[in-house]
Amino acid sequence: RTRFALRSLLVVAAAVALVAIADTIASGFGPAYPFGLHKNFAGAMLAMCSIVCIAAPNAIGLIRPLPTLLFALFTAGVLATQSRASLVGVAAALAVVGFRRGGRSPVRVLTFVATLTGLIAVSVASLRAATSGANNTQFNSIRSREAVYRTAYNVFRENPFFGAGLRWFKLSGPGRTAYLEPHSMLFATISEAGSEEHTSELQSRLHLVC
């Protein structure tokens, strides 16, 4: 049952990866949103599947070199989504797998190091591209998050003990527009539920972001 479940997951992930690659090519190499999935969700799912292929190929039960080919396909899908956190996750997993298995084969060590270096380089280049040049605006990935964090923090300051209520950022009314959902579990939870004891932690995190 486990093997059947893993194979089923990989079939679905392969379809997502192929659509993501086609999507990013069609959009001029912009972030892919395969089947309407958010790029970070799709990237995380593909990253998980790529890690399974490279870390536990025997659990899948596919003949070689299918796990390696699937790893390459899923990693290409992650690159297509441009989900930087997912890229870092794959790179970290490669580092662990390479450390545990690479000692038996110098070629494998070099392969893991090259792949790891490439993923980190792509992630750094993607971050620089998103925050420089024509993209260096108030709407880039960092400044937009900073604005959302500030909004959530101000909501928390106004309601420090009980918060503004679950999903407060989805509410709207007279003289009030809907806010964006905070891109942080900490800011989202504290602004929803409130907690005076976390004030200093929120202030320090907001300071680091800014």
Enclosing H/E stretch for 71 = helix 66-81
Contact between residue 16 and residue 77 where contact means Cβ atoms under 8 Å apart: yes
Cβ-based neighbour number of residue 137 at 10 Å? 10
At residue 180, the 3 state secondary structure works out as coil
Per-residue pLDDT, 133: 56
- Least confident range of 35-44, 52-61, 66-75, 198-207: 198-207
| Structure-token pair, residue 11 | 């079939």
How is residue 140 annotated by DSSP? S
Contact between residue 77 and residue 44 where contact means Cβ atoms under 8 Å apart: no
- 68 contacts: CB under 8 Å, gap ≥ 6: 53, 54, 57
Q: Rounded to an integer, what distance in angstroms lies between the CA atom of residue 11 and that of residue 75?
A: 15
pLDDT at 46 over 80: yes
Tell the burial category of 42 from Cβ atoms under 10 Å away from its Cβ (0-12, 13-18, 19+): buried
pLDDT at 144 over 90: no
Per-residue pLDDT, 25: 93
At residue 116, the 3 state secondary structure works out as helix
Per-residue pLDDT, 137: 56
Alpha-carbon radius of gyration of the chain: 21
pLDDT at 76 over 90: yes
Crossing angle between the packed helical segments 66-81 and 39-55, to the nearest 10 degrees: 160
Q: What mean pLDDT do residues 40-44 have?
A: 91
Nearest to 120 by CA among 90, 99, 140: 90
Confidence of residue 134 (pLDDT cuts 50, 70, 90): low
pLDDT at 202 over 70: no
pTM of the model: 0.62
What pLDDT digit, counting tens, does each position of 7-22 carry? 999 999 999 999 999 9
Contact between residue 121 and residue 79 where contact means Cβ atoms under 8 Å apart: no
Confidence of residue 178 (pLDDT cuts 50, 70, 90): low
